């Protein structure tokens, strides 16, 4: 599959609602942009949870140990920017969100569990929208001011979205783990086999936020 030209990527980004910074980043990483778009198309072909789990695992296992270390380093650096004691409270949940999901994904794949998952995706239409968002979403953070050159790579954003897709569409769990705290003292909850999140419906203006595709419900206003 040929990668689209930088010019076409730039135009596509702006038409889809991306900023000039997003389009510029897609131009800089045009080869990655084409590759990520092909991955999104492949994921979108999944019809069952097992098929999707297998496809995500195949893509996730292409990340090298070094790349996983860089992803961990970037996550650590981002958490360090948060005020204490909030960063100490939230750090293990970010780790669980990314690397906890990764270990669960690999374990299920290697055990052959995905081959036994024949259930259809719970919300195919929502999943299609997620796949449409993914290519542009990977370029919607402007990392050009990042001092560490290893952190500036849209592939690492792809990994983040792969783990989110696994949690939300294969496991039917929230994109953010149960118990994850948010400012104001509210957390992601599980009540009577349903999930609730205090920010589920509060990032609609951010098209690339995983919250827009999460199976959790918005926490009741009288509780949040």
Look up residue 51 and give its two tokens. 């098929």
Q: Name every residue whose Cβ is closer than 8 Å to that of residue 116 and which is 6 or more positions away in sequence.
A: 50
What's the CA gap between 206 and 54, in Å, rounded? 29
What's the CA gap between 224 and 215, in Å, rounded? 18
pLDDT of amino acid 13: 47
Q: Name every residue whose Cβ is closer than 8 Å to that of residue 66 and which is 6 or more positions away in sequence.
A: none
Other CB atoms within a 10 A radius of the CB of residue 2 amount to: 5
Q: How far apart are the first and last CA of the chain?
A: 48
Q: Name every residue whose Cβ is closer than 8 Å to that of residue 144 and which is 6 or more positions away in sequence.
A: 21, 25, 152
Q: How many residues belong to the chain? A: 224
pLDDT of amino acid 184: 83
String of b and e for 153-170 (b: at least 16 CB within 10 Å)? bbbbbbbbbbbbbbbbbb
pLDDT of amino acid 185: 85
Q: Which of 2, 25, 5 is nearest to 208 (CA)?
A: 25
Other CB atoms within a 10 A radius of the CB of residue 128 amount to: 12
Look up residue 132 and give its two tokens. 């449409």
74: exposed, middle or buried (C-beta count within 10 Å: 0-12, 13-18, 19+)? buried
pLDDT of amino acid 220: 80
Mean pLDDT by 10 residues, the chain (224 residues): 44 52 74 92 98 99 96 93 94 98 98 98 97 91 61 87 99 97 92 94 89 94 51
pLDDT of amino acid 29: 76
pLDDT of amino acid 33: 87
């Amino acid at each position: 599959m040929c990668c689209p030209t930088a010019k076409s990527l730039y135009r596509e980004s702006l038409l889809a609602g991306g900023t000039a910074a997003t389009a510029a980043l897609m131009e800089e990483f045009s080869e990655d942009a084409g590759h990520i778009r092909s991955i999104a198309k492949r994921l979108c072909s999944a019809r069952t949870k097992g098929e999707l789990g297998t496809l995500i695992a195949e893509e996730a296992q292409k990340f090298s140990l070094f790349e996983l270390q860089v992803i961990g380093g970037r996550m650590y650096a981002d958490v360090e920017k948060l005020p204490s004691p909030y960063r100490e409270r939230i750090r293990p949940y970010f780790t669980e969100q990314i690397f906890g999901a990764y270990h669960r994904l690999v374990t299920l794949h290697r055990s052959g569990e995905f081959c036994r998952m024949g259930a259809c995706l719970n919300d195919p239409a929502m999943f299609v929208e997620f796949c449409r968002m993914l290519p542009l979403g990977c370029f919607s953070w402007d990392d050009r001011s990042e001092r560490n050159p290893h952190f500036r790579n849209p592939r690492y954003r792809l990994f983040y979205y792969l783990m989110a897709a696994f949690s939300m569409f294969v496991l039917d769990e929230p994109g953010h783990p149960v118990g994850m705290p948010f400012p104001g003292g509210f957390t992601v909850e599980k009540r009577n086999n349903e999930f609730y999140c205090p920010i589920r419906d509060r990032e609609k203006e951010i098209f690339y936020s995983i919250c827009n595709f999460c199976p959790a419900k918005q926490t009741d206003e009288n509780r949040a």
